[in-house]
């Protein structure tokens, strides 16, 4: 198409099937206003009824289309004024982009509860939901706050507060480069990101391990830590529960963000730790608001400077995973684990559970993790061979106990989301309470068996599985060779303190999922039906 101004949108279907009629942008009745939207309009049914009663012709099943017709009604020669007058009637979450045929060279954008960033270029200005999309053009980014509206032309960006007053804000310069968003010789972003993990662990620890003396996050009556997150970040949060208990001696629990807000508030006021790599996950942001409403102190662990959760939570611990492009989270997960270890060690010192000396010993072991992870990466060839052997499976199980139970969940999630093989993660002791019925000779079982206090019990569980004829792939520490006699495949990971074993185990599971998906010819970086930031609740 010819022209100098425009926008596009990859729709993540919430209302109406993915189809041409439901695709953005939408036009008003006269075809002069175009609009794209990320989010959900919650009161769209009543808005649609009003518009249809006035004679508007809506052509899609989407919630979004209502807004372009409302703007049409409000339009009196100035697009931003029309949009501003419509916004108060809209309930829900949105990032909007609009243009009008007779206001050439002008884009109007607005956001509430959905992300939107503006990039300042040279003789051009841009916007997107995500910084990644802009990096090729610019590193100067203006983050739009909730409720703000911006008018973008090739030479100017004017940001307005909800009351219409002009906002003065300096752009932030992001340090991520275009190279960060390229594959650097790897077949997929996911593989590149898996291989970046030693560096990510190193940078997340950098300059952090020595400053364990901290403020009073856990003082002032906070009796426990509640970790709240979604998806892969929830698995980090669940591992975080064990990490907090072990390293900080603090009772902890993990809860799915989409469930947390529907629980009843008890009298207790835990410190609520929100784990989200993107910082834009709608359920996690809603949970942060709920936590504050309940009077809890909030702390976010996230990877994106300036993201929404960083503004919603009182404290932020940034992981330093860099840009993650593969939809399946890998390096951001290990970075989140590192954040949780750091936090737990700090709490451990704060509460007196650890002496400074003990904390130092634990941090020395943390510093050794990049090398341990590198050695798992060095065994990628062996994992690739294994993946080839089982890539035709219809179903797989992943077993772990204690701190490796969340890692079994994560191994299963990685497998199902990119290879489309049905996979279940289970606490190994639960298998006999039902799922054992599903095991056959065609159901490979991956067992995580570090030498910790669950080791003997894991042996027992492996026996139960083998007795049903299922092939067993065990992931165990180097030197643990005896197991070879009892399992079909033994993958070794280097010895690390058991509380750190999730880090080495998960890397092996990420590689297993990756090579399985590759063998099956799947779309690894963009699995079907999934999005990198889930900005709808
Ligand atoms: C799976 C995956 C998702 C995300 C989830 C939460 O590989 O990436 O399950 O973990 O959507 O995302 P964040 O961490 O951005 O809140």
Domains and CATH numbers, the chain: 26-173 (3.60.20.10), 183-367 (3.40.50.10490), 373-537 (3.40.50.10490)
Cα 68 to middle of ligand 1, angstroms: 31
How far apart CA 166 and CA 291 sit, in angstroms, is 32
pLDDT at 177: 74
pLDDT at 209: 52
Burial code (b: 16+ CB inside 10 Å, e: under 16) for 10-39 equals: ebeeeebeeeeebbbbbbbbeeebbbbbbb
Q: What region does 286 belong to: left with phi over 0, alpha with psi -120 to 50, or beta? A: alpha
Cα 252 versus chain centre, distance: 21
pTM of the model: 0.80
In order, the DSSP letters of 161-219 are -TTSPEEP-PPEE----TGGGS-TT-SSHHHHHHHTHHHHHHHHHTTTTT-----STT-
Q: Could you identify the atom of ligand 1 that is nearest to the CA of residue 231? A: 9
C-beta of 281 in contact with ligand 1 (< 6 A): yes
pLDDT at 210: 47
Q: What does R_g of the chain's alpha carbons equal in angstroms?
A: 25
Cα 229 to middle of ligand 1, angstroms: 9
Burial code (b: 16+ CB inside 10 Å, e: under 16) for 497-510 equals: ebbbbbbbbbbbbb
C-beta of 284 in contact with ligand 1 (< 6 A): yes
C-beta of 303 in contact with ligand 1 (< 6 A): no
Q: What is the pLDDT of residues 259-281, one digit of tens each?
A: 998 888 777 889 999 999 999 99
pLDDT at 214: 46
C-beta of 257 in contact with ligand 1 (< 6 A): no
C-beta of 302 in contact with ligand 1 (< 6 A): no
pLDDT at 212: 46
Query: What is the side-by-side strand order in the sheet with 125-128?
Result: 125-128, 117-120, 140-143, 172-173
Q: Could you identify the atom of ligand 1 that is nearest to the CA of residue 327? A: 8
All residue ranges of the chain with pLDDT < 50 are: 210-214
pLDDT at 207: 65
**Residues in a beta bridge with 119:** 126, 141
Neighbours of 181 (CB within 10 A): 17
Cα 370 to middle of ligand 1, angstroms: 23
Q: Could you identify the atom of ligand 1 that is nearest to the CA of residue 229? A: 16
How far apart CA 64 and CA 60 sit, in angstroms, is 9
Is the dihedral angle over the CA atoms 483, 484, 490, 493 positive or is it negative?
Answer: positive
């Amino acid at each position: 198409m010819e022209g100098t101004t425009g926008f596009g949108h990859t729709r993540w279907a919430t209302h109406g099937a993915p189809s041409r009629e439901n695709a953005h942008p939408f036009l008003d009745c006269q075809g002069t206003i175009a609009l794209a939207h990320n989010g959900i309009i919650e009161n769209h049914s009543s808005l649609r009824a009003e518009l249809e009663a006035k004679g508007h012709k809506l052509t899609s099943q989407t919630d979004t289309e209502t807004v372009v017709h409302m703007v049409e009604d409000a339009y009196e020669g100035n697009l931003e004024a029309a949009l501003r007058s419509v916004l108060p009637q809209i309930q829900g979450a949105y990032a909007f982009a609009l243009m009008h045929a007779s206001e050439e060279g002008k884009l109007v954008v607005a956001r509430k509860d959905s992300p939107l960033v503006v990039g300042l270029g040279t003789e051009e200005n841009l916007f997107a939901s995500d910084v990644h999309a802009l990096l090729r053009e610019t590193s100067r980014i203006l983050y739009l706050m909730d409720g703000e509206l911006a008018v973008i032309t090739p030479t100017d960006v004017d940001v307005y507060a909800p009351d219409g007053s002009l906002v003065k804000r300096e752009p932030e310069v992001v340090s991520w480069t275009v190279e960060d968003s390229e594959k650097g010789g790897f077949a997929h972003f996911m593989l590149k990101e898996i291989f970046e993990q030693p560096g990510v662990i190193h940078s997340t620890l950098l300059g952090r391990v020595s400053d364990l003396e901290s403020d009073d996050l856990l003082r002032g009556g906070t009796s426990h830590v509640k970790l709240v997150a979604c998806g892969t970040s929830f698995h980090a949060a669940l591992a975080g529960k064990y990490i907090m208990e072990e390293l900080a001696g603090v009772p902890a629990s993990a809860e799915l963000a989409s469930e947390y807000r529907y629980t009843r508030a008890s009298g207790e006021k835990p410190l609520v730790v929100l784990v989200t790599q993107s910082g834009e996950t709608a359920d996690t942001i809603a949970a942060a608001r709920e936590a504050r409403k309940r009077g809890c102190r909030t702390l976010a662990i996230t990877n994106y400077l300036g993201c929404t959760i960083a503004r919603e939570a009182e404290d932020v611990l940034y992981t330093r995973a860099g840009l993650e492009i593969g939809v399946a989270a890998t390096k951001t997960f290990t970075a989140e684990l590192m954040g949780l270890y750091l936090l737990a060690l700090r709490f451990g010192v704060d509460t007196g559970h650890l002496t400074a000396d003990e904390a130092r010993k634990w941090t020395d072991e943390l510093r050794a993790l990049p090398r341990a992870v590198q050695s798992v990466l060095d065994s990628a060839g062996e994992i690739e061979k294994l993946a080839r052997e089982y890539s035709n499976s219809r179903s797989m199980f992943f077993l772990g106990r204690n701190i490796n139970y969340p890692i079994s969940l994560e191994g299963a999630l990685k497998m199902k989301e990119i290879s489309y093989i049905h996979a279940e993660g289970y606490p190994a002791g639960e298998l006999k309470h039902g799922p054992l019925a599903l095991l056959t000779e065609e159901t490979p079982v991956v067992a995580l068996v570090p030498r910790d206090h669950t080791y003997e019990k894991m042996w027992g569980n492996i026996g139960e599985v083998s007795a049903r004829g299922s092939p067993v792939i065990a992931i165990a520490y180097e030197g643990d060779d005896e197991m070879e006699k009892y399992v079909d495949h033994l993958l070794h990971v280097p010895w690390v303190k058991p509380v750190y074993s999730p880090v080495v185990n998960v890397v092996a599971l990420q590689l297993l999922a990756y090579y399985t998906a590759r063998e099956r010819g799947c779309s690894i970086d963009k699995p079907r039906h999934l999005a990198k930031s889930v900005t709808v609740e």
